[in-house]
Amino acid sequence: MSGKSYKFQRTISSTAEHCCVPLCAASSKYNSALSFHTFPKDFETRRKWISAIRRDHFAVSPHTRVCSRHFTNEDVREPLSETARRLLRKGAVPALFEWNNFSLPLSGQAGERREVCERRERPVEEQDTSCEEAAGITHDHDYAAAPDPALVDLALDENKALRSEIDQLRKQVQTLHLKQRFGIHRFAGSDGDIRFFTRFGSYDLLMRFWTQIEPAVPSMVRVTPAQRGNFTEPTFPAAHSLQPVDEMFMFLNYLALGLKQHDLADRYGVHQSTVSRIITTWSNFLYAVLGSVRIWIPEEKIRENLPTEFKDYADTTVILDCTELRCQCPTSPHLQSEVYSAYKSNCTLKGLLGVAPHGAVTFISPLYAGSISDKQITRESGILSLLKPGMAIMVDRGFLVDDFVPCKIYRPAFLSGRSQMSASEARETQAIARVRVHVERLIRRVKEHKFFETEIPLRFFGNINQLYSVACLLTNYENGPLVKSWSKKPE
């Protein structure tokens, strides 16, 4: 019975039954002429069915079917009514398959099964397969067969390898994104860029500083959008996208370069209001964290580390000097007179700085109106409570504080109406100037934070003390000694 063609016609049905015989794609969804039969309950007959259809490791379920194409005419009993179903003869076994061209052996029963579906002999090239192609039916795959375990293992191994490759690619993308995004990790390989953007001498110094303050970051008191400068309860993590280390980097950019908040927002890809909150938050955070470290050094510790340049002034505990920051001129004439500095011929804010002989900042006063004198700022700054008899301070000519300072004072000599100094006074003035220059170098380091090079707006007056104090305290972490010869040479 080779060369027969079967035409499948789509039927309307809520369920579809499929033939489990290999290479057979018959389905009740596409032909109502076929009938689908369950496996017999009789054990011996069921065994013959399983053997006949050639399925290895085949598990029969109540929904497993064999279509009527695989039974002879004598095995199939037609229904007595239109609503009845076809039945199989007792003991019938499927015998017609694609691998035997739907025919019986010579010793078996012969004859065509015209009741299954319409068939007629015609050449292969004229066979109509349009219905099968439209239905997506193929005859070379058994959808009911279990997959080969070896193929399953191979697929699992391939999936595992692909997942590993995806993870590696994801990490590479994240690393590339960190390098391209503006932040501390982008400049990790360039100490020159770190110095430019933060004033820290190297990436290593900056990361050492971060290691010191990182444990306090979770308790940071953050500024929220609604508070506008007021504090909220400690919350962590922050609601914005930057990591804490990049927030610190942004704050250092703000001080070191004096960048506008709009510029920082564009660089870091955040809103300008977020930049404002980060700067205020980190200004107060560093002011609290760095300010909690005692910077005043006892005189005995100073003597232990006294540079050789100070051998003639061995009792010097601190070198004092004032610095002024230019600020916006207020509209009020009274306030103008308060902040106007005759020395700078401009409106300024003035502060007193103290540096130990070995170069560390040991005293920072609040900022005062620029009209205050050196003598008055020394009296009001709080430095007097730290000075004791037996100590010595080193000051400039303008510090006429002899009447209330409880310790020795090294100060360059005045001419006091004379035309010239004596030889000993000139030598002493030069010697004091050589060692006193270190406080001026320290002030220069503070003002290398370009934020203080520009005119400070009046709106910053509420936060300027924190910014100024933090910039002064950061000089103790940013660089090495003020004089290179003081640094220890590697052994």
Q: Please give the pLDDT value at position 420.
A: 67
Residues 38 and 17 sit within 8 Å (Cβ to Cβ): no
Q: Burial of 107 by CB count in 10 Å (0-12 exposed, 13-18 middle, 19+ buried)?
A: exposed
Q: Please give the pLDDT value at position 14.
A: 58
Parallel, antiparallel, or unpaired: how do β-strands 361-364 and 346-355 relate? antiparallel
For the chain, residues with pLDDT lower than 50 are 1-10, 107-120, 122, 124-127, 129-139, 229-240, 485-491
Q: Tens digits of per-residue pLDDT, 187-221?
A: 888 899 999 999 999 999 999 999 999 999 999 98
Q: Please give the pLDDT value at position 150.
A: 63
- The predicted model scores a pTM of 0.59
CA distance 257 to 250: 10
Q: Tens digits of per-residue pLDDT, 100-111?
A: 888 876 544 433
What is the residue whose two structure tokens read 């960190």? Answer: 178
Q: Please give the pLDDT value at position 147.
A: 60
C-alpha distance from residue 431 to each of 312, 462, 486, 487 (Å)? 9, 41, 18, 22
Task: Give me the amino acid identity at 414.
Answer: F
Nearest Cα neighbor of 320 from 258, 217, 401, 222 is: 401
C-alpha distance from residue 459 to each of 62, 389, 466, 469, 482 (Å)? 84, 42, 14, 18, 34
Q: Please tell me the total number of residues recorded for the chain in this structure.
A: 491
Q: Please give the pLDDT value at position 118.
A: 41
Q: Please give the pLDDT value at position 423.
A: 75
Q: Please give the pLDDT value at position 145.
A: 56
Q: Which residues pair with 97 in a beta bridge?
A: none
Q: Please give the pLDDT value at position 432.
A: 81
Residues 108 and 57 sit within 8 Å (Cβ to Cβ): no
Nearest Cα neighbor of 250 from 281, 228, 216, 227 is: 281
Residues 347 and 328 sit within 8 Å (Cβ to Cβ): yes
Q: Please give the pLDDT value at position 311.
A: 85
